[in-house]
Structure 1
Amino acid sequence: MAPERFHVTIDGRDLELSNLDKVMYPAAGFTKGEVIDYYTRVAPALLPHLAGRAVTRIRYPNGVEGAHFFEKNKPGGTPEWVRLETLPVPGSTKSRETIDFVVVDDLPTLVWLANLAALELHTPQWRVGADPDLLVVDLDPGAPAGLRECSAVAVLMRDRLAEDGVAAYPKTSGKKGMQLCCPISGTQDAETVSAYAKRVAEELAAMVPASITAKMAKAIRPGKVFIDWSQNAAAKTTVTPYSLRAQEFPTVSTPLTWDEVEAIGTGSAEPHHYRADEVLDRIEKHGDLLADLMTPGPVLPARH
Protein backbone atom coordinates (compact mmCIF):
# COMPACT_ATOMS: atom_id res chain seq x y z
CA MET A 1 0.00 0.00 0.00
CA ALA A 2 1.38 3.40 -0.94
CA PRO A 3 2.28 5.62 2.02
CA GLU A 4 -0.23 8.30 2.87
CA ARG A 5 1.11 11.71 1.92
CA PHE A 6 0.07 15.14 3.14
CA HIS A 7 0.81 18.44 1.44
CA VAL A 8 1.40 21.34 3.81
CA THR A 9 2.55 24.93 3.43
CA ILE A 10 4.83 26.32 6.14
CA ASP A 11 5.97 29.95 5.98
CA GLY A 12 5.22 29.97 2.26
CA ARG A 13 7.13 26.75 1.51
CA ASP A 14 5.36 23.69 0.14
CA LEU A 15 6.25 20.34 1.77
CA GLU A 16 5.03 16.78 1.43
CA LEU A 17 4.86 14.80 4.67
CA SER A 18 4.50 11.03 4.69
CA ASN A 19 4.18 7.99 6.97
CA LEU A 20 3.16 10.09 9.95
CA ASP A 21 1.92 7.01 11.82
CA LYS A 22 5.21 5.12 11.44
CA VAL A 23 6.57 4.33 14.91
CA MET A 24 10.05 5.78 15.41
CA TYR A 25 10.50 4.86 19.10
CA PRO A 26 8.75 1.49 19.64
CA ALA A 27 9.21 1.45 23.43
CA ALA A 28 7.30 4.74 23.67
CA GLY A 29 5.01 4.32 20.64
CA PHE A 30 6.42 7.68 19.47
CA THR A 31 5.60 8.20 15.79
CA LYS A 32 7.13 10.21 12.96
CA GLY A 33 4.19 12.58 13.26
CA GLU A 34 5.18 13.19 16.87
CA VAL A 35 8.81 13.73 15.84
CA ILE A 36 7.66 16.40 13.38
CA ASP A 37 5.35 17.91 16.00
CA TYR A 38 8.18 18.07 18.55
CA TYR A 39 10.59 19.76 16.15
CA THR A 40 7.88 22.21 15.08
CA ARG A 41 7.09 23.16 18.67
CA VAL A 42 10.71 23.35 19.84
CA ALA A 43 11.77 25.37 16.77
CA PRO A 44 11.76 28.83 18.43
CA ALA A 45 14.39 27.61 20.91
CA LEU A 46 16.25 25.27 18.54
CA LEU A 47 16.60 27.32 15.35
CA PRO A 48 19.00 29.94 16.78
CA HIS A 49 21.41 27.09 17.66
CA LEU A 50 21.21 25.70 14.11
CA ALA A 51 21.32 28.99 12.22
CA GLY A 52 24.38 29.43 10.04
CA ARG A 53 25.86 26.03 10.93
CA ALA A 54 26.41 23.11 8.55
CA VAL A 55 24.26 20.34 10.01
CA THR A 56 25.08 16.64 10.09
CA ARG A 57 21.98 14.45 10.33
CA ILE A 58 21.60 10.92 11.66
CA ARG A 59 18.63 9.37 9.89
CA TYR A 60 16.55 6.43 11.09
CA PRO A 61 14.13 5.65 8.24
CA ASN A 62 12.65 2.69 10.15
CA GLY A 63 12.93 4.03 13.66
CA VAL A 64 15.57 3.75 16.37
CA GLU A 65 15.62 -0.04 16.23
CA GLY A 66 16.31 -0.07 12.48
CA ALA A 67 19.36 0.76 10.41
CA HIS A 68 20.61 4.33 10.50
CA PHE A 69 23.11 6.43 8.59
CA PHE A 70 25.02 9.69 8.94
CA GLU A 71 24.33 12.27 6.28
CA LYS A 72 26.36 15.40 5.62
CA ASN A 73 25.70 15.95 1.91
CA LYS A 74 22.34 17.20 0.66
CA PRO A 75 19.95 14.26 0.09
CA GLY A 76 18.32 13.54 -3.25
CA GLY A 77 15.18 15.56 -3.84
CA THR A 78 16.33 18.51 -1.73
CA PRO A 79 13.89 21.40 -2.34
CA GLU A 80 15.36 24.35 -4.19
CA TRP A 81 14.54 26.68 -1.29
CA VAL A 82 16.74 24.81 1.24
CA ARG A 83 19.94 26.75 2.03
CA LEU A 84 23.04 24.83 0.91
CA GLU A 85 26.68 25.70 1.55
CA THR A 86 29.46 24.03 -0.44
CA LEU A 87 32.29 23.35 2.00
CA PRO A 88 35.37 21.12 2.14
CA VAL A 89 34.88 17.59 3.40
CA PRO A 90 35.59 17.74 7.17
CA GLY A 91 39.03 16.33 7.89
CA SER A 92 39.83 15.75 4.22
CA THR A 93 43.38 16.37 3.05
CA LYS A 94 42.14 16.82 -0.51
CA SER A 95 41.16 20.45 -0.74
CA ARG A 96 39.14 19.84 -3.89
CA GLU A 97 36.69 17.52 -2.10
CA THR A 98 33.54 19.37 -1.10
CA ILE A 99 30.08 18.63 0.24
CA ASP A 100 26.82 20.50 -0.22
CA PHE A 101 25.85 20.90 3.43
CA VAL A 102 22.34 21.74 4.55
CA VAL A 103 21.98 24.81 6.77
CA VAL A 104 18.79 24.96 8.85
CA ASP A 105 17.86 28.61 9.10
CA ASP A 106 14.07 28.25 9.10
CA LEU A 107 11.12 26.12 10.16
CA PRO A 108 10.34 24.64 6.72
CA THR A 109 13.86 23.18 6.47
CA LEU A 110 13.62 21.76 10.00
CA VAL A 111 10.27 20.10 9.24
CA TRP A 112 11.61 18.77 5.94
CA LEU A 113 14.50 17.07 7.77
CA ALA A 114 12.17 15.70 10.45
CA ASN A 115 10.04 14.16 7.72
CA LEU A 116 13.19 12.43 6.41
CA ALA A 117 13.52 10.79 9.85
CA ALA A 118 16.59 12.88 10.68
CA LEU A 119 16.10 12.25 14.38
CA GLU A 120 19.48 13.62 15.47
CA LEU A 121 20.98 16.96 14.45
CA HIS A 122 24.67 17.67 15.04
CA THR A 123 26.46 20.96 14.42
CA PRO A 124 30.05 22.27 14.52
CA GLN A 125 31.29 24.99 16.87
CA TRP A 126 31.57 27.46 13.97
CA ARG A 127 29.17 29.20 11.64
CA VAL A 128 29.77 29.02 7.90
CA GLY A 129 32.71 31.21 6.91
CA ALA A 130 33.74 32.05 10.48
CA ASP A 131 36.02 30.91 13.27
CA PRO A 132 34.50 29.03 16.26
CA ASP A 133 32.14 31.08 18.41
CA LEU A 134 31.63 28.20 20.83
CA LEU A 135 33.93 26.13 22.99
CA VAL A 136 32.34 22.78 23.87
CA VAL A 137 33.46 20.48 26.66
CA ASP A 138 32.05 16.98 26.29
CA LEU A 139 31.86 15.01 29.55
CA ASP A 140 31.73 11.31 28.72
CA PRO A 141 31.32 8.91 31.66
CA GLY A 142 32.90 5.48 31.67
CA ALA A 143 30.63 2.98 33.45
CA PRO A 144 29.84 2.73 36.28
CA ALA A 145 30.17 6.52 36.25
CA GLY A 146 27.12 8.32 34.87
CA LEU A 147 25.32 11.64 34.79
CA ARG A 148 25.87 12.20 38.53
CA GLU A 149 29.65 11.99 38.15
CA CYS A 150 29.51 14.16 35.03
CA SER A 151 27.61 16.80 36.99
CA ALA A 152 30.28 16.94 39.71
CA VAL A 153 33.00 17.33 37.07
CA ALA A 154 30.91 19.97 35.26
CA VAL A 155 30.95 22.16 38.38
CA LEU A 156 34.75 21.87 38.62
CA MET A 157 35.08 22.73 34.94
CA ARG A 158 32.68 25.68 35.28
CA ASP A 159 34.73 27.13 38.12
CA ARG A 160 38.04 26.61 36.29
CA LEU A 161 36.74 28.25 33.10
CA ALA A 162 35.37 31.17 35.13
CA GLU A 163 38.94 31.94 36.24
CA ASP A 164 39.62 32.84 32.60
CA GLY A 165 36.39 34.79 32.23
CA VAL A 166 34.71 32.00 30.25
CA ALA A 167 31.04 31.33 31.10
CA ALA A 168 29.82 27.73 30.78
CA TYR A 169 26.25 26.60 30.13
CA PRO A 170 25.33 22.96 30.81
CA LYS A 171 23.16 20.54 28.87
CA THR A 172 22.64 16.81 28.93
CA SER A 173 23.76 14.89 25.86
CA GLY A 174 20.41 13.08 25.85
CA LYS A 175 22.36 9.82 26.20
CA LYS A 176 24.68 9.13 29.13
CA GLY A 177 26.79 12.26 29.53
CA MET A 178 26.62 16.02 29.22
CA GLN A 179 28.26 19.00 27.56
CA LEU A 180 29.27 22.47 28.62
CA CYS A 181 28.78 25.13 25.94
CA CYS A 182 30.82 28.31 26.25
CA PRO A 183 30.43 31.42 24.06
CA ILE A 184 33.80 32.71 22.87
CA SER A 185 34.95 35.59 20.67
CA GLY A 186 34.84 33.95 17.24
CA THR A 187 38.27 35.46 16.51
CA GLN A 188 40.47 32.41 17.20
CA ASP A 189 40.84 29.32 15.04
CA ALA A 190 39.78 25.79 15.96
CA GLU A 191 43.35 24.72 16.75
CA THR A 192 43.67 27.51 19.34
CA VAL A 193 40.31 26.68 20.92
CA SER A 194 41.06 22.95 20.99
CA ALA A 195 44.50 23.53 22.55
CA TYR A 196 42.95 25.65 25.30
CA ALA A 197 40.28 23.03 26.02
CA LYS A 198 42.95 20.32 26.18
CA ARG A 199 45.07 22.37 28.58
CA VAL A 200 42.17 22.91 30.98
CA ALA A 201 41.07 19.25 30.74
CA GLU A 202 44.59 18.08 31.59
CA GLU A 203 44.72 20.47 34.56
CA LEU A 204 41.54 18.99 36.03
CA ALA A 205 42.65 15.42 35.33
CA ALA A 206 45.89 16.13 37.21
CA MET A 207 43.89 17.59 40.12
CA VAL A 208 41.44 14.67 40.42
CA PRO A 209 43.10 11.69 38.67
CA ALA A 210 40.88 9.13 40.39
CA SER A 211 37.73 10.41 38.73
CA ILE A 212 38.77 12.48 35.68
CA THR A 213 40.79 11.65 32.58
CA ALA A 214 41.76 13.77 29.59
CA LYS A 215 43.03 10.76 27.65
CA MET A 216 40.93 9.06 24.98
CA ALA A 217 42.16 5.49 25.65
CA LYS A 218 39.06 3.49 26.61
CA ALA A 219 41.07 1.14 28.82
CA ILE A 220 41.64 3.87 31.41
CA ARG A 221 38.13 5.29 31.38
CA PRO A 222 35.96 2.89 33.47
CA GLY A 223 34.62 4.73 36.51
CA LYS A 224 36.03 8.06 35.30
CA VAL A 225 34.66 11.03 33.41
CA PHE A 226 36.53 11.66 30.17
CA ILE A 227 36.78 15.38 29.40
CA ASP A 228 36.71 15.25 25.62
CA TRP A 229 38.45 18.44 24.57
CA SER A 230 38.74 17.19 20.97
CA GLN A 231 35.13 18.22 20.25
CA ASN A 232 36.57 21.61 19.34
CA ALA A 233 38.43 20.34 16.27
CA ALA A 234 37.12 21.94 13.08
CA ALA A 235 35.94 18.58 11.70
CA LYS A 236 33.96 17.61 14.81
CA THR A 237 30.28 18.16 15.53
CA THR A 238 28.30 18.03 18.77
CA VAL A 239 24.65 17.17 19.22
CA THR A 240 22.68 20.41 18.90
CA PRO A 241 20.74 21.66 21.94
CA TYR A 242 17.14 20.37 21.83
CA SER A 243 17.94 17.63 19.31
CA LEU A 244 16.23 14.30 19.83
CA ARG A 245 18.48 11.29 20.47
CA ALA A 246 18.03 7.82 19.06
CA GLN A 247 17.64 6.04 22.37
CA GLU A 248 14.95 3.63 23.55
CA PHE A 249 12.78 6.62 24.45
CA PRO A 250 12.68 10.05 22.74
CA THR A 251 15.24 11.74 24.99
CA VAL A 252 16.56 15.19 24.16
CA SER A 253 19.85 17.05 24.61
CA THR A 254 18.45 19.28 27.34
CA PRO A 255 19.79 22.56 28.78
CA LEU A 256 20.01 22.55 32.58
CA THR A 257 20.35 25.19 35.27
CA TRP A 258 23.49 25.17 37.39
CA ASP A 259 21.31 24.61 40.47
CA GLU A 260 20.11 21.38 38.84
CA VAL A 261 23.64 20.30 37.95
CA GLU A 262 24.91 20.97 41.47
CA ALA A 263 22.01 19.06 43.00
CA ILE A 264 22.69 16.03 40.81
CA GLY A 265 26.42 16.19 41.49
CA THR A 266 26.00 16.28 45.26
CA GLY A 267 23.37 13.53 45.29
CA SER A 268 20.46 15.68 46.44
CA ALA A 269 18.65 15.15 43.12
CA GLU A 270 18.36 12.13 40.87
CA PRO A 271 19.94 12.19 37.41
CA HIS A 272 17.27 12.44 34.74
CA HIS A 273 17.27 12.19 30.96
CA TYR A 274 14.48 14.44 29.75
CA ARG A 275 12.07 13.39 27.01
CA ALA A 276 10.51 15.50 24.29
CA ASP A 277 7.32 16.44 26.16
CA GLU A 278 9.26 17.36 29.32
CA VAL A 279 11.62 19.59 27.34
CA LEU A 280 8.73 21.54 25.84
CA ASP A 281 7.38 22.06 29.37
CA ARG A 282 10.83 23.23 30.52
CA ILE A 283 11.04 25.78 27.72
CA GLU A 284 7.64 27.12 28.73
CA LYS A 285 8.96 27.51 32.28
CA HIS A 286 12.56 28.64 31.72
CA GLY A 287 12.74 29.84 28.11
CA ASP A 288 15.96 28.88 26.34
CA LEU A 289 18.56 28.38 29.06
CA LEU A 290 21.24 28.58 26.36
CA ALA A 291 20.11 31.89 24.86
CA ASP A 292 23.33 33.55 26.06
CA LEU A 293 25.29 31.42 23.60
CA MET A 294 24.17 33.87 20.92
CA THR A 295 26.22 36.68 22.51
CA PRO A 296 29.96 36.60 21.74
CA GLY A 297 32.22 35.70 24.64
CA PRO A 298 35.85 36.40 25.52
CA VAL A 299 39.10 35.77 23.70
CA LEU A 300 40.67 32.64 25.19
CA PRO A 301 43.95 33.25 27.04
CA ALA A 302 47.21 32.07 25.56
CA ARG A 303 49.24 29.41 27.35
CA HIS A 304 50.51 30.59 30.69
Structure 2
Amino acid sequence: MTPITLVEGRRIALSNLDKVLYPETGFTKGEVLHYYATVAEPLLAQIHDRAVSFLRYPDGPEGQLFFTKNPPPGAPDWVRTTPVPRSEDPSAAQVVVADLATLMWSANLVVEFHIHQWPAGRPAVADRMVLDLDPGAPASVVECSAVALWLRERLAADGLDAYAKTSGSKGLHLAVPLEPTPSAQVSAYAKQLAQEAERELPDFVVHRMAKALRPGKVFVDHSQNAAAKTTAAAYTLRARARPTVSAPVTWAEVEACRTPDDLVFLADDIGPRLVRDGDLFAPLADPAQGRPLPRARPLPRARP
Protein backbone atom coordinates (compact mmCIF):
# COMPACT_ATOMS: atom_id res chain seq x y z
CA MET A 1 0.00 0.00 0.00
CA THR A 2 1.31 3.46 -0.93
CA PRO A 3 1.88 5.47 2.26
CA ILE A 4 -0.01 8.73 2.62
CA THR A 5 1.91 11.61 4.17
CA LEU A 6 0.34 14.81 5.49
CA VAL A 7 2.38 17.87 4.45
CA GLU A 8 1.06 21.29 5.50
CA GLY A 9 -2.43 19.81 5.63
CA ARG A 10 -2.16 18.23 2.16
CA ARG A 11 -2.42 14.46 1.69
CA ILE A 12 0.39 13.20 -0.56
CA ALA A 13 0.95 9.60 -1.66
CA LEU A 14 4.69 8.88 -1.55
CA SER A 15 5.52 5.73 -3.51
CA ASN A 16 8.41 3.26 -3.92
CA LEU A 17 10.50 4.79 -1.15
CA ASP A 18 13.00 1.90 -1.13
CA LYS A 19 13.60 2.01 -4.89
CA VAL A 20 17.28 2.60 -5.67
CA LEU A 21 17.54 5.48 -8.14
CA TYR A 22 21.31 6.01 -8.10
CA PRO A 23 22.87 2.50 -8.25
CA GLU A 24 26.43 3.83 -7.97
CA THR A 25 25.76 5.05 -4.42
CA GLY A 26 22.59 3.12 -3.49
CA PHE A 27 20.68 6.41 -3.10
CA THR A 28 16.96 5.64 -2.89
CA LYS A 29 13.79 7.50 -3.73
CA GLY A 30 13.14 7.93 -0.03
CA GLU A 31 16.50 9.66 0.25
CA VAL A 32 15.59 11.90 -2.70
CA LEU A 33 12.46 12.98 -0.84
CA HIS A 34 14.42 13.47 2.38
CA TYR A 35 16.96 15.61 0.53
CA TYR A 36 14.30 17.88 -0.93
CA ALA A 37 12.63 18.24 2.48
CA THR A 38 16.02 19.17 3.97
CA VAL A 39 16.73 21.92 1.40
CA ALA A 40 13.13 23.08 1.08
CA GLU A 41 13.72 26.56 2.49
CA PRO A 42 16.52 27.70 0.14
CA LEU A 43 15.12 25.78 -2.85
CA LEU A 44 11.65 27.29 -2.46
CA ALA A 45 13.26 30.74 -2.14
CA GLN A 46 14.54 30.23 -5.69
CA ILE A 47 11.49 28.65 -7.34
CA HIS A 48 8.38 29.56 -5.32
CA ASP A 49 7.22 32.29 -7.73
CA ARG A 50 8.41 30.83 -11.04
CA ALA A 51 6.97 28.55 -13.65
CA VAL A 52 8.75 25.21 -13.23
CA SER A 53 9.64 22.60 -15.81
CA PHE A 54 10.47 19.08 -14.65
CA LEU A 55 13.10 16.74 -15.99
CA ARG A 56 11.70 13.42 -14.80
CA TYR A 57 13.68 10.24 -14.26
CA PRO A 58 11.35 7.88 -12.35
CA ASP A 59 13.62 4.85 -12.94
CA GLY A 60 16.86 6.68 -12.19
CA PRO A 61 19.33 8.44 -14.47
CA GLU A 62 19.93 5.27 -16.47
CA GLY A 63 16.23 4.91 -17.26
CA GLN A 64 13.93 7.03 -19.37
CA LEU A 65 14.35 10.80 -19.01
CA PHE A 66 11.64 13.15 -20.22
CA PHE A 67 11.13 16.89 -19.94
CA THR A 68 7.71 18.08 -18.77
CA LYS A 69 6.49 21.64 -19.13
CA ASN A 70 2.74 21.09 -18.79
CA PRO A 71 1.33 20.13 -15.37
CA PRO A 72 1.73 16.34 -15.00
CA PRO A 73 -1.46 14.27 -15.32
CA GLY A 74 -3.18 13.76 -11.98
CA ALA A 75 -1.81 16.93 -10.41
CA PRO A 76 -3.86 17.78 -7.30
CA ASP A 77 -6.22 20.72 -7.63
CA TRP A 78 -4.30 22.56 -4.91
CA VAL A 79 -1.13 22.70 -7.04
CA ARG A 80 -0.78 26.23 -8.34
CA THR A 81 -0.20 26.88 -12.04
CA THR A 82 0.60 30.01 -14.02
CA PRO A 83 0.03 30.88 -17.69
CA VAL A 84 3.13 30.43 -19.86
CA PRO A 85 1.92 31.16 -23.41
CA ARG A 86 3.77 29.31 -26.14
CA SER A 87 3.52 29.76 -29.88
CA GLU A 88 2.12 26.26 -30.29
CA ASP A 89 -0.25 26.64 -27.32
CA PRO A 90 -1.27 30.16 -26.25
CA SER A 91 -3.23 28.74 -23.31
CA ALA A 92 -0.30 26.71 -21.89
CA ALA A 93 0.35 26.74 -18.15
CA GLN A 94 3.08 25.36 -15.89
CA VAL A 95 3.33 24.36 -12.25
CA VAL A 96 4.48 26.85 -9.65
CA VAL A 97 6.18 25.08 -6.73
CA ALA A 98 5.01 27.58 -4.17
CA ASP A 99 5.12 25.61 -0.90
CA LEU A 100 6.46 22.54 0.84
CA ALA A 101 3.46 20.40 -0.06
CA THR A 102 3.89 21.10 -3.77
CA LEU A 103 7.63 20.53 -3.47
CA MET A 104 7.16 17.08 -1.94
CA TRP A 105 4.43 16.15 -4.44
CA SER A 106 6.80 17.20 -7.25
CA ALA A 107 9.79 15.40 -5.74
CA ASN A 108 7.75 12.18 -5.57
CA LEU A 109 7.71 12.29 -9.38
CA VAL A 110 11.54 12.17 -9.23
CA VAL A 111 12.51 15.40 -10.91
CA GLU A 112 15.09 18.01 -11.63
CA PHE A 113 13.63 21.50 -11.19
CA HIS A 114 14.23 23.94 -14.06
CA ILE A 115 13.13 27.59 -14.01
CA HIS A 116 12.86 30.61 -16.28
CA GLN A 117 14.79 33.80 -15.54
CA TRP A 118 11.50 35.67 -15.01
CA PRO A 119 8.87 35.34 -12.24
CA ALA A 120 5.35 34.01 -12.69
CA GLY A 121 2.96 36.50 -14.20
CA ARG A 122 5.72 38.50 -15.90
CA PRO A 123 6.75 36.47 -18.95
CA ALA A 124 9.85 37.77 -20.71
CA VAL A 125 10.69 40.30 -17.97
CA ALA A 126 13.78 38.87 -16.30
CA ASP A 127 14.99 39.58 -12.78
CA ARG A 128 18.20 37.57 -13.23
CA MET A 129 20.75 36.74 -15.87
CA VAL A 130 22.42 33.34 -16.22
CA LEU A 131 25.63 32.32 -17.94
CA ASP A 132 26.13 28.57 -18.29
CA LEU A 133 29.81 27.64 -18.48
CA ASP A 134 29.99 24.26 -20.23
CA PRO A 135 33.42 22.65 -20.72
CA GLY A 136 34.34 20.68 -23.81
CA ALA A 137 36.66 17.77 -22.98
CA PRO A 138 39.46 17.71 -22.04
CA ALA A 139 38.50 21.02 -20.40
CA SER A 140 36.66 20.67 -17.09
CA VAL A 141 35.24 22.73 -14.28
CA VAL A 142 38.81 23.85 -13.60
CA GLU A 143 38.82 25.86 -16.84
CA CYS A 144 35.24 26.94 -16.13
CA SER A 145 36.44 28.39 -12.83
CA ALA A 146 39.09 30.50 -14.56
CA VAL A 147 36.49 31.83 -17.01
CA ALA A 148 34.03 32.46 -14.17
CA LEU A 149 36.57 34.60 -12.34
CA TRP A 150 37.14 36.70 -15.47
CA LEU A 151 33.39 37.14 -15.96
CA ARG A 152 32.95 38.08 -12.31
CA GLU A 153 35.40 40.96 -12.70
CA ARG A 154 33.88 42.00 -16.02
CA LEU A 155 30.40 42.09 -14.53
CA ALA A 156 31.68 44.04 -11.52
CA ALA A 157 32.98 46.67 -13.93
CA ASP A 158 29.36 47.19 -14.98
CA GLY A 159 28.18 47.34 -11.37
CA LEU A 160 26.74 43.83 -11.33
CA ASP A 161 27.23 41.07 -8.73
CA ALA A 162 27.67 37.47 -9.85
CA TYR A 163 26.91 34.35 -7.83
CA ALA A 164 28.27 30.94 -8.77
CA LYS A 165 26.88 27.44 -8.50
CA THR A 166 27.86 24.11 -9.93
CA SER A 167 25.69 22.87 -12.77
CA GLY A 168 25.52 19.50 -11.04
CA SER A 169 27.13 18.05 -14.15
CA LYS A 170 30.46 19.25 -15.57
CA GLY A 171 30.37 23.02 -15.44
CA LEU A 172 29.34 26.16 -13.59
CA HIS A 173 26.42 28.57 -13.70
CA LEU A 174 26.80 32.28 -12.97
CA ALA A 175 23.66 34.11 -11.88
CA VAL A 176 23.24 37.87 -11.66
CA PRO A 177 20.29 39.56 -9.88
CA LEU A 178 18.69 42.34 -11.89
CA GLU A 179 15.96 44.88 -11.67
CA PRO A 180 13.14 43.72 -13.99
CA THR A 181 14.50 43.94 -17.53
CA PRO A 182 13.08 42.67 -20.85
CA SER A 183 14.50 39.24 -21.62
CA ALA A 184 15.54 40.36 -25.09
CA GLN A 185 17.75 43.06 -23.57
CA VAL A 186 19.27 40.64 -21.07
CA SER A 187 19.93 38.15 -23.87
CA ALA A 188 21.70 40.77 -25.95
CA TYR A 189 23.88 41.82 -23.03
CA ALA A 190 24.70 38.20 -22.13
CA LYS A 191 25.68 37.47 -25.72
CA GLN A 192 27.95 40.50 -25.76
CA LEU A 193 29.64 39.26 -22.56
CA ALA A 194 30.21 35.83 -24.08
CA GLN A 195 31.66 37.35 -27.24
CA GLU A 196 33.90 39.63 -25.23
CA ALA A 197 35.10 36.71 -23.13
CA GLU A 198 36.02 34.85 -26.30
CA ARG A 199 37.96 37.86 -27.59
CA GLU A 200 39.80 38.31 -24.30
CA LEU A 201 40.37 34.60 -23.62
CA PRO A 202 40.55 33.04 -27.10
CA ASP A 203 42.43 29.96 -25.88
CA PHE A 204 39.76 29.15 -23.30
CA VAL A 205 36.34 30.43 -24.45
CA VAL A 206 33.87 29.98 -27.28
CA HIS A 207 30.50 31.70 -27.45
CA ARG A 208 28.95 29.53 -30.16
CA MET A 209 27.39 26.13 -29.55
CA ALA A 210 28.96 24.31 -32.51
CA LYS A 211 30.58 21.14 -31.12
CA ALA A 212 33.51 21.39 -33.51
CA LEU A 213 34.60 24.61 -31.75
CA ARG A 214 34.34 23.32 -28.20
CA PRO A 215 37.02 20.66 -27.50
CA GLY A 216 39.34 21.95 -24.78
CA LYS A 217 37.37 25.18 -24.34
CA VAL A 218 34.55 26.55 -22.24
CA PHE A 219 31.32 27.33 -24.04
CA VAL A 220 29.78 30.43 -22.44
CA ASP A 221 26.13 29.67 -23.10
CA HIS A 222 24.24 32.95 -23.08
CA SER A 223 21.12 31.52 -24.73
CA GLN A 224 19.42 30.53 -21.47
CA ASN A 225 18.37 34.16 -21.03
CA ALA A 226 15.88 33.84 -23.87
CA ALA A 227 12.37 34.06 -22.44
CA ALA A 228 11.49 30.50 -23.46
CA LYS A 229 14.60 28.88 -21.97
CA THR A 230 15.06 27.41 -18.50
CA THR A 231 18.02 26.57 -16.29
CA ALA A 232 18.47 23.99 -13.54
CA ALA A 233 17.53 25.65 -10.25
CA ALA A 234 19.95 26.06 -7.37
CA TYR A 235 19.76 23.05 -5.03
CA THR A 236 18.07 20.73 -7.53
CA LEU A 237 19.31 17.16 -7.78
CA ARG A 238 20.57 16.17 -11.23
CA ALA A 239 19.96 12.98 -13.18
CA ARG A 240 23.56 11.81 -13.17
CA ALA A 241 25.34 8.63 -12.11
CA ARG A 242 25.53 9.95 -8.55
CA PRO A 243 23.04 12.24 -6.73
CA THR A 244 24.89 15.42 -7.63
CA VAL A 245 23.39 18.80 -6.84
CA SER A 246 23.46 22.15 -8.59
CA ALA A 247 25.14 23.63 -5.53
CA PRO A 248 25.89 27.29 -4.79
CA VAL A 249 29.58 27.81 -4.10
CA THR A 250 31.72 30.57 -2.68
CA TRP A 251 34.11 32.52 -4.85
CA ALA A 252 36.92 31.26 -2.65
CA GLU A 253 35.97 27.72 -3.70
CA VAL A 254 35.98 28.76 -7.34
CA GLU A 255 39.40 30.36 -6.95
CA ALA A 256 40.76 27.23 -5.22
CA CYS A 257 39.47 24.76 -7.84
CA ARG A 258 42.37 22.65 -9.12
CA THR A 259 40.70 19.33 -10.02
CA PRO A 260 37.19 18.48 -11.29
CA ASP A 261 36.35 16.77 -7.99
CA ASP A 262 36.89 20.04 -6.12
CA LEU A 263 33.48 21.29 -7.23
CA VAL A 264 31.34 18.16 -7.09
CA PHE A 265 28.70 18.09 -4.36
CA LEU A 266 26.30 15.26 -3.56
CA ALA A 267 22.98 15.43 -1.77
CA ASP A 268 24.54 14.53 1.59
CA ASP A 269 26.98 17.44 1.29
CA ILE A 270 24.37 20.19 1.08
CA GLY A 271 22.98 20.17 4.63
CA PRO A 272 26.40 20.75 6.23
CA ARG A 273 27.19 23.42 3.62
CA LEU A 274 23.99 25.28 4.49
CA VAL A 275 24.90 25.15 8.19
CA ARG A 276 28.39 26.47 7.41
CA ASP A 277 27.68 29.04 4.70
CA GLY A 278 23.96 29.70 4.79
CA ASP A 279 22.11 30.15 1.52
CA LEU A 280 24.73 31.53 -0.87
CA PHE A 281 22.01 32.24 -3.44
CA ALA A 282 19.85 34.28 -1.08
CA PRO A 283 20.45 37.52 -3.08
CA LEU A 284 18.83 35.84 -6.09
CA ALA A 285 15.66 35.23 -4.11
CA ASP A 286 14.88 38.94 -3.74
CA PRO A 287 14.82 40.95 -6.98
CA ALA A 288 14.83 44.16 -4.94
CA GLN A 289 18.47 43.47 -4.16
CA GLY A 290 19.33 43.51 -7.86
CA ARG A 291 20.73 46.36 -9.88
CA PRO A 292 19.72 47.69 -13.27
CA LEU A 293 21.24 46.11 -16.34
CA PRO A 294 23.80 48.52 -17.82
CA ARG A 295 23.61 49.58 -21.42
CA ALA A 296 25.39 47.18 -23.71
CA ARG A 297 28.91 48.42 -24.27
CA PRO A 298 30.66 48.11 -27.63
CA LEU A 299 32.82 45.05 -28.04
CA PRO A 300 36.60 45.53 -27.88
CA ARG A 301 38.30 45.70 -31.22
CA ALA A 302 39.54 42.40 -32.52
CA ARG A 303 43.13 41.71 -31.70
CA PRO A 304 45.49 41.95 -34.65
TM tier, shorter chain? over 0.9
- Once the two structures are superposed, the pairs formed by residues 101-250 of structure 1 within 5 Å of their partners are 101-118=94-111, 120-130=112-122, 131-186=125-180, 188-250=181-243
Secondary structure of the corresponding residue to residue 155 of structure 1: helix
In the alignment, the residues of structure 1 paired with residue 93 and residue 155 of structure 2 have an alpha-carbon distance, to the nearest angstrom, of 36
The answer on whether the counterparts of 1:212 and 1:224 sit within 8 Å (CA) in structure 2 is yes
Is residue 287 of structure 1 aligned with residue 290 of structure 2?
no
Q: Which of 241-250 and 10-19 deviates more?
A: 10-19
Tell me if the contact between 2:21 and 2:27 (Cα under 8 Å) persists in the aligned partners. yes
Gaps of 5+ in 1: none
| Cα distance in 2 between the residues matched to 1:177 and 1:240 | 14
Q: Which moved more, 1:271-280 or 1:230-239?
A: 271-280
Measured in 2, the distance between the counterparts of 1:221 and 1:179 equals: 17
Cα offset for 1:141? 0.4
1:63 to 56, 60, 63: 60
Paired with 1:192 and 1:281, the residues of 2 have a C-alpha distance of: 38
Contact 1:137-1:181 within 8 A present in 2 as well: yes
Q: Percent same amino acid among aligned pairs?
A: 51
Root-mean-square deviation (CA, aligned residues, Å) is 1.3
Q: For residues 61 and 252 of structure 1, what CA distance do their matches in structure 2 show?
A: 17
Q: Which runs of 4+ in 1 moved over 6 A?
A: none
**Partner residue of 2:75?**
78
Instruction: Note if contact 1:263-1:269 (Cα within 8 Å) is conserved in structure 2.
Output: no
> Which runs of 5 or more structure 2 residues have no equivalent in the other structure?
298-304
Aligned length: 293
Which amino acid letter does the alignment assign opposite residue 234 of structure 1?
A: A
CA distance in 2 between partners of 1:227 and 1:303 (Å):
17
Quickly say closer, same or farther: Cα 1:243–1:213, change in 2 above 3 A: same
2:43 to 46, 53, 59: 46
- TM-score normalised by the chain length of structure 1: 0.94
